[in-house]
Amino acid sequence: MFLAQKIDKPSFKILVVDDTIDSLRLIANMLTDQGYQVRKVLNGQMALTAAQSAPPDLILLDINMPQINGYEVCQQLKANSLTSHIPVIFISALDEVLDKVKAFAVGGIDYITKPFQFEEVIARVETQLTIRFLQQQLEEQSQKAIYTQEKYHRFFQYSDLGIFELSSQGIYQSVNDYLAKLYGYDSPEQMITHLVSPENNLYIQSNRWDEILKLLKTQEKITNLESQIYRADGSIITVSESIWLARSLSTDSFYYEGIIIPVANI
């Protein structure tokens, strides 16, 4: 049995659709005994109503039903944004290649034939629910990443601190508006274009950036280091720098981040 990760069965809701009562009861009992939440309906219209009112995590859908067959039900489910994401496993007594091709063509993700084999039913259901579970986890992680990125972006843009990021070669990758204005530039883009790197006529002390790099090799973080820097118009201000090494999780490379605070001249 394929299981990438053990799923919490009681948390999953399964809708079973079959116009044959005995067949419906049999497969529903199989799944209930495994701990799933199971809802049973007898026809296609009831399936559409049930799926829209309380969307399940998986639908087991009989193909041969009166009025609206399983193919038509699946097409309507996939056409509705509320239910289009729900995986559908078709169930049928038919076992012809043509029927399976059509099942996949209308949006089904698997196919179970009657008479039911307990191990096959459970294996296919668990496989699809595991895939669904992992997809949900990825979606949640993606949403969290987007939220974190947006939160950081707001902090970066609207902070009353100068914030910057440098590549491992000491090239400015980003600076916020506050830092650009503090250093006398009209925009972050202008500052990055003009300076390129802290080595490029930023510090009054010509070897200051080399000293900072040497400190970072031994400390990984420098806090409240005062330096004198040239603003864009040639005037001089004193700032307090906090700089640290950061590491990219995706590439395992390092870069520099820092915060700049102006120091009042007394």
Same topology between domain 9-146 and domain 159-263:
no
CA distances from 219 to 6, 35, 203, 243, 245 (A): 43, 54, 21, 10, 9
Q: Which two tokens stand for residue 208?
A: 């200051």
Average pLDDT, the chain: 89
User: Is 0.75 topped by the overall pTM?
Assistant: no
In the chain (266 residues long), the average pLDDT of successive 10-residue segments reads: 61 94 94 95 96 96 92 96 95 73 91 89 92 84 81 82 93 95 96 93 92 90 94 95 85 87 76
Provide the CATH topology of domain 9-146: Rossmann fold (3.40.50)
Interatomic CA distance for residues 126 and 111, integer angstroms: 14
| CATH of 159-263 given 3.40.50.10210, 3.40.50.300, 3.30.450.20, 3.40.190.10 | 3.30.450.20
Percent of the chain with pLDDT over 70: 94
Q: What are the residue boundaries of the structural domains of the chain, listed by start?
A: 9-146, 159-263
The pLDDT tens digits of the residues spanning 39-52 come to 999 999 999 999 99
